Amino acid sequence: MSIHPLAVVSPHAELGANVRIGPFCVVEAGVVLGDGCQLASRVTVKSGTLVGRDNLVLEGTVLGGMPQHVHMPTHPGTVSIGDGNVFRENCTVHRALEAGHVTRIGNCCLFMVGAHVAHDCTVGNNVILTNGSMLGGHVEVGERAYMGGASAVHQFCRIGRLAMIGGMARVIRDVPPFVMLDGDSAMVVGLNKVGLRRAGFDSRDIVQLKAAYRAIYRSGLMWQEMLDLLRLQFPAGPAAEFLPFFLGGKRGFVQERRTPPGAIVRLVRDDADESMITLPEAEKKVG
């Protein structure tokens, strides 16, 4: 164990083997740091925070801060962090709002500079929150999901497993598993194929997910008809995850961004006669 002389560590904190704590860190009473954790300088770990093994926490990060709420709780909940996570500079993770509740982070996640996890969130394993991404209160994030830079998720939303959120997206509805959101429109633009392959999904899995994706977004079925189709045609395999996700939704679901049928020619304005002309005609005028 190594504790810098300029660190402030409560004698009532529980520190595992080979813990390293750098200068100007503060570790409050009731904190548990598992074996092999490393805190760089200016890290604060507050009461009610349980940190697992081999976590790396870099400068300026605060773990276990009080919830950001108009009515500050007298008896807040706790924070539970798994093993092997990396918190880059100036991240924040807040305690649950009420006693007996937990803000929970899994294993092997990466939180890049300035990422924020609000009270009562649940973050699965191998999740990546890139720079400046933010989770509102009570958000659930599935395993291997990816949050692009400066993206924000509204409270009580769910992000499905292996979903990819584009940078600066504003997520206000549930995001189904395996899909990809465009950062500009915050709408679905297809499957997260790169993420699926990296996670070990084979070609048969991806073909099945493509078929389910078409049933969900492009079949034109009514909501209940779509659910019935998923139940009948995809009882097993990765596509079977869609049905329980949809059945558990309360905020609605992100829709697909798709060019309307037939809109294959972009129109531009002709300044000479103020009429609309097709793109090929406009190119002739420019030439």
Instruction: Among 138, 170, 196, give the residue marking a domain's end.
Output: 138
Nearest CA among 167, 105, 161 for reference residue 131: 167
179 within a domain of the structure (yes/no): no
Q: Is 114 a catalytic residue?
A: no
pLDDT value of residue 184:
94
Q: Is 137 a catalytic residue?
A: yes
147 within a domain of the structure (yes/no): no
Q: What is the secondary structure of 112-139 as a DSSP string?
A: -TT-EE-TT-EE-TT-EE-TT-EE-TT-
Active-site residue, selected from the candidate residues 54, 82, 106, 120: 120
| 249 three-class SS | coil
Instruction: Among 138, 160, 181, give the residue marking a domain's end.
Output: 138
Report the phi/psi class of residue 179: left, alpha or beta, with left for phi > 0 and alpha for psi in -120 to 50. Answer: beta
Of 13-22, 40-49, 158-167, 274-283, least confident by mean pLDDT is 274-283
Residue 261 clears pLDDT 70, i.e. is over it: no
pLDDT value of residue 278:
40
131 within a domain of the structure (yes/no): yes
Interacting residues of 174 by C-beta distance below 8 A, sequence separation 6+: 157, 158, 159, 160, 245, 249, 251, 252, 253, 254
198 within a domain of the structure (yes/no): no
User: What residue numbers bound the domain in which 284 lies?
Assistant: 263-287
Mean pLDDT score, 276-285:
40
Active-site residue, selected from the candidate residues 119, 124, 136, 160: 119
Residue 286 clears pLDDT 60, i.e. is over it: no
CATH number at residue 102: 2.160.10.10
Q: Is 120 a catalytic residue?
A: yes
226 within a domain of the structure (yes/no): no
Query: Domain count of the chain?
Result: 2
54 within a domain of the structure (yes/no): yes
pLDDT value of residue 33:
98
Interacting residues of 93 by C-beta distance below 8 A, sequence separation 6+: 62, 63, 64, 65, 79, 81, 87, 103, 105, 116, 117
Q: Give the pLDDT band of residue 236 (cuts 50, 70, 90).
A: very high
Residue 262 clears pLDDT 80, i.e. is over it: no
- State the angle between helix axes of 223-233 and 203-217 in degrees (0 to 180), rounded to the nearest 10: 160
175 within a domain of the structure (yes/no): no
User: How far is 167 from 56, CA to CA, in rounded Å?
Assistant: 25
Instruction: Name the residue type at position 130.
Output: T
pLDDT value of residue 258:
83
User: How far is 176 from 242, CA to CA, in rounded Å?
Assistant: 7
Per-residue pLDDT of 58-73, as tens digits, reads 999 999 999 999 998 9
Q: What angle do CA 133, 136, 141 make, to 5 degrees?
A: 75
User: How far is 61 from 13, CA to CA, in rounded Å?
Assistant: 18
Cβ burial, residue 193 (10 Å; 0-12/13-18/19+):
middle
276 within a domain of the structure (yes/no): yes
Residue 179 clears pLDDT 50, i.e. is over it: yes
Active-site residue, selected from the candidate residues 22, 48, 82, 137: 137
**Contact (Cβ atoms closer than 8 angstroms) between residue 154 and residue 171:** yes
Instruction: Among 84, 111, 138, give the residue marking a domain's end.
Output: 138
